A and B are shown apart, each in its own frame.
Chain A
Amino acid sequence: MWARARQWWNKVASYLVLGAVAAPFLTMYVSFFLRAFGKRMYLGVVPKEFGFANFQFLWRPIAWGLEQTTVWTALGNTVFFAVTSALAVTIICMLAGYALSRIEFRGKNFFLVLQLFLHAVPGQILLIAIFFLLFYIKLLHKIPGVALARASLEIPLGIWMAKGFFDGIPWDVERSAMIDGCTRFQVWYRVFLPLVKPGIAAVFIWGFLFAWHDFIYVYTLLPGTIKLMSTLIQSLLATEVIDYGYLAALSLIYMIPPLLLFVFLQRALLRVPVFGGKGV
């Protein structure tokens, strides 16, 4: 009897604790969605007049101060920025990850440790150096240039991720490819890349997400006239009258592309090939 009550209490207690921890976040998300679709809020939490009034920016220009842009321009810029950055991360990590997984060279371990160390360095302290670097190679104030600079922050850990995927391929498969006539590059391109598709997808998403959400690099290294979603939302926050419904709706649009990317790449992420043959 007592044991049962105790069991029941343990269960309830854990739900209570978990609920309490989750509550603030859930409230925020709920309020965020409600705000996006409600024109006015009652007591700050209960929406009135549901509708798409907040989404006017989809067909009207967005203005801040004396300037204006459209959400489509900002979204286009953000996609361009994030895809460029993610592609740079993916290509470099796939090459470096293969090399670190399969080729013996002097200083390999040092290089690997260095990557971890580099990952620990916060991106902000590099901003000034990167500013001058981009300035000298004439890529400052250009989206591709800043995207490359942003990519460099994700490359260290991305290399470790990629290496992990290549490590999973048996040596015999590589040797087999070399016996069949492949050069190192052909081994990488024709045999290994198709086998690490989940890894490619993972590294790409990794690079894409961080670039998509980036604010500080975009804000510092791009001129105010080139707006990405993050800087656009920031500039709307900086105006005198803040329309929260409008911001929530804009943020919702900002969230959609990464979600779509996940859905799109999910299959690749989950498809793990069976290696070698029997007993491997």
Chain B
Amino acid sequence: MMRISLHNLSKYFGDVKAVDELTLQIQEGEFVALLGPSGCGKTTTLLTIAGFYRPTKGEVRFSDRVVNDLPPRERNIGMVFQSYALYPHMRVFDNITFPLKIKKVPKKHWGTKATEVAKLLEIADLMDRVPGQLSGGQQQRVALARSLVKEPDLLLLDEPLSNLDAKLRITMRAELKRLQKDLGITTIFVTHDQVEAMTMADRIALLEGGRLQQVGSPEELYDLPATLFVAGFIGTPPMNFVEVSLEEVEGRLFVITEHFRFPLLNGIAQKVHRMATSREVVLGIRPEDIKIGQGKIEAEVYVVEPLGRDTLVTLRIGAVGFKVLAPPRFRVAIGERVQLAFSMERIQLFDKTTERSLLL
């Protein structure tokens, strides 16, 4: 069990800043997701933690020890790669026991250790096969078994679910989460899929362009995104954004656009007063926080998409499109005019230039 801390970690490839000044603490037994679009530096961060890359600047610490110069083999970590990277010339048993063989664990212990992890991952009956004879899901279990057999202090997962089909992905999501909690191994996983990160991780570190955007629990990132990028990246369908102006009328702060105006709640207004540097801001509101068929904001129905559990309605207010989640049996015709109400306490406001939240 290990605590990991990244301190001002930077990794440059020539002029490209793959990871830039990343500071992050990971507690013992925590399950942390490095989330971001491709090219955001999440895999570089993972490979730096694993020891394949040497940080250009900054430190990687395992518990209190700086491990910048420690080769991967001395870090006692387990890692599962996106491609699983099983050894194609070895049987499953030999794949799983390979770390023991290299570590010179006496041969008589191999059987029990391998059986133990194989049972845990339900692959005990595959021991004599070679990787080419396994399905993607089975290969992944073997890769997990291989990474767990040496009882690592830290488990790294690189896009662990992205090579599985959609159904299996949902099953494995839950299984991985349960496994991690049962074993209590500090785990870092990399993903570009925000749903994966939201469902599995204790905390999410969202990266963009090599920089940390926000770190926090899934709820924190969802309810109070620190930047415009986080707000747009987390959640499907994504948050709606509209450029608005703020104006003070008779002691109340109003949000004003060409098409609608409404006063902000006092709590939000106070925060905005403290933070705002300009009157021009970006308002964000999630699709489920808009109520259709009540309120004073007028909109025109652009398209209706039934999703089964609810109905996704795209609306137009002037030239701005809004996505709204309506009840499942909600029926409305294209071109019809409807009334909208925003849930006032769920409104997000961002600075237009810094793109940072005004509510933090």
A residues adjacent to B (C-beta < 8 A): 170, 172-173, 175-183, 186, 190-191, 194-195, 273-280
Interface hit among B83-91, B177-185, B247-255: B83-91
Whether B72 and A179, one on each chain, are in contact in the complex, defined by CB atoms closer than 8 angstroms, is: yes
State in angstroms the CA–CA spacing of A122 and B52 once bound together: 42
Whether A278 and B139, one on each chain, are in contact in the complex, defined by CB atoms closer than 8 angstroms, is: yes
Cβ contacts A to B, 25 pairs, < 8 Å? A170-B83, A172-B83, A175-B47, A175-B50, A175-B72, A176-B87, A177-B87, A179-B72, A179-B78, A179-B79, A180-B150, A181-B102, A190-B102, A195-B88, A273-B89, A274-B88, A274-B132, A275-B88, A276-B83, A277-B83, A277-B85, A277-B140, A278-B83, A278-B135, A279-B136
Q: Which of B73, B135, B139, B140 contacts A179 (CB 8 A)?
A: B73
B residues adjacent to A (C-beta < 8 A): 47, 50, 52, 71-73, 77-79, 81-89, 98-99, 102-103, 131-132, 135-136, 139-140, 143, 146-147, 150, 163
State in angstroms the CA–CA spacing of A195 and B87 once bound together: 9
* Residues on the B chain within 8 Å of A278, using CB: 83-84, 135-136, 139, 163
Whether B98 and A180, one on each chain, are in contact in the complex, defined by CB atoms closer than 8 angstroms, is: yes
* Residues on the B chain within 8 Å of A274, using CB: 88, 131-132
State in angstroms the CA–CA spacing of A181 and B98 once bound together: 9
State in angstroms the CA–CA spacing of A247 and B98 once bound together: 55
Q: Which residue of A lies closest to B104 (CB)?
A: A181
Q: Which residue of A lies closest to B103 (CB)?
A: A181
* Residues on the B chain within 8 Å of A186, using CB: 102
Given contacts A179-B77, A181-B102, A181-B103, contact A277 B86 (CB under 8 A): yes
* Residues on the B chain within 8 Å of A277, using CB: 83-86, 131, 136, 139-140, 143, 163
Taking each of A177, A181, A183, A276, which has the highest tally of chain B beta carbons within 10 Å of its own beta carbon? A181
Whether B79 and A175, one on each chain, are in contact in the complex, defined by CB atoms closer than 8 angstroms, is: yes
* Residues on the B chain within 8 Å of A194, using CB: 89
Smallest beta-carbon distance B178→chain A, Å: 23
* Residues on the B chain within 8 Å of A273, using CB: 88-89
Smallest beta-carbon distance A277→chain B, Å: 4
Whether B136 and A181, one on each chain, are in contact in the complex, defined by CB atoms closer than 8 angstroms, is: no
* Residues on the B chain within 8 Å of A176, using CB: 79, 81, 85-87, 146
Q: Which of A175, A195, A279 contacts B89 (CB 8 A)?
A: A195
For the complex with contacts A273-B88, A277-B140, 10 further pairs of A-B residues with Cβ separation under 8 Å are A170-B85, A172-B81, A175-B47, A176-B81, A178-B71, A181-B150, A194-B89, A273-B89, A277-B84, A277-B163
State in angstroms the CA–CA spacing of A195 and B86 once bound together: 12
Given contacts A179-B79, A180-B102, contact A276 B72 (CB under 8 A): no
Smallest beta-carbon distance A176→chain B, Å: 4
Given contacts A276-B83, A277-B163, contact A179 B88 (CB under 8 A): no
Smallest beta-carbon distance A183→chain B, Å: 7
* Residues on the B chain within 8 Å of A178, using CB: 52, 71-73
Whether A181 and B73, one on each chain, are in contact in the complex, defined by CB atoms closer than 8 angstroms, is: yes
State in angstroms the CA–CA spacing of A275 and B130 once bound together: 12
Q: Which residue of B lies closest to A275 (CB)?
A: B88
* Residues on the A chain within 8 Å of B143, using CB: 277
* Residues on the B chain within 8 Å of A280, using CB: 83
Smallest beta-carbon distance A168→chain B, Å: 12
Q: Which residue of A lies closest to B158 (CB)?
A: A172
* Residues on the B chain within 8 Å of A172, using CB: 81-85
Smallest beta-carbon distance A198→chain B, Å: 12
* Residues on the A chain within 8 Å of B79, using CB: 175-176, 179
Q: Which of A180, A182, A190, A279 contacts B146 (CB 8 A)?
A: A180
* Residues on the A chain within 8 Å of B150, using CB: 180-181
Q: Which residue of B lies closest to A274 (CB)?
A: B132
Whether A276 and B88, one on each chain, are in contact in the complex, defined by CB atoms closer than 8 angstroms, is: yes
Whether B87 and A191, one on each chain, are in contact in the complex, defined by CB atoms closer than 8 angstroms, is: yes
Taking each of A176, A274, A279, which has the highest tally of chain B beta carbons within 10 Å of its own beta carbon? A176
State in angstroms the CA–CA spacing of A100 and B13 once bound together: 20
Given contacts A175-B85, A178-B52, contact A183 B73 (CB under 8 A): yes
Whether B85 and A276, one on each chain, are in contact in the complex, defined by CB atoms closer than 8 angstroms, is: yes
Q: Which of B52, B98, B131 contacts A175 (CB 8 A)?
A: B52
State in angstroms the CA–CA spacing of A178 and B99 once bound together: 10
5 closest Cβ contacts across the A-B interface?
A: A172-B85, A277-B84, A181-B102, A278-B136, A176-B85
State in angstroms the CA–CA spacing of A280 and B98 once bound together: 21
Smallest beta-carbon distance A276→chain B, Å: 4
* Residues on the A chain within 8 Å of B83, using CB: 170, 172, 276-280
State in angstroms the CA–CA spacing of A188 and B73 once bound together: 15
Whether B102 and A175, one on each chain, are in contact in the complex, defined by CB atoms closer than 8 angstroms, is: no
Q: Which residue of A lies closest to B146 (CB)?
A: A180
State in angstroms the CA–CA spacing of A179 and B149 once bound together: 12
* Residues on the A chain within 8 Å of B50, using CB: 175, 179
Taking each of A178, A179, A278, A279, which has the highest tally of chain B beta carbons within 10 Å of its own beta carbon? A179
State in angstroms the CA–CA spacing of A238 and B169 once bound together: 77
State in angstroms the CA–CA spacing of A211 and B132 once bound together: 38
Smallest beta-carbon distance B359→chain A, Å: 42
Q: Which residue of A lies closest to B135 (CB)?
A: A278
State in angstroms the CA–CA spacing of A277 and B146 once bound together: 14
State in angstroms the CA–CA spacing of A177 and B81 once bound together: 11
State in angstroms the CA–CA spacing of A178 and B98 once bound together: 11
Given contacts A179-B77, A180-B146, contact A276 B103 (CB under 8 A): no
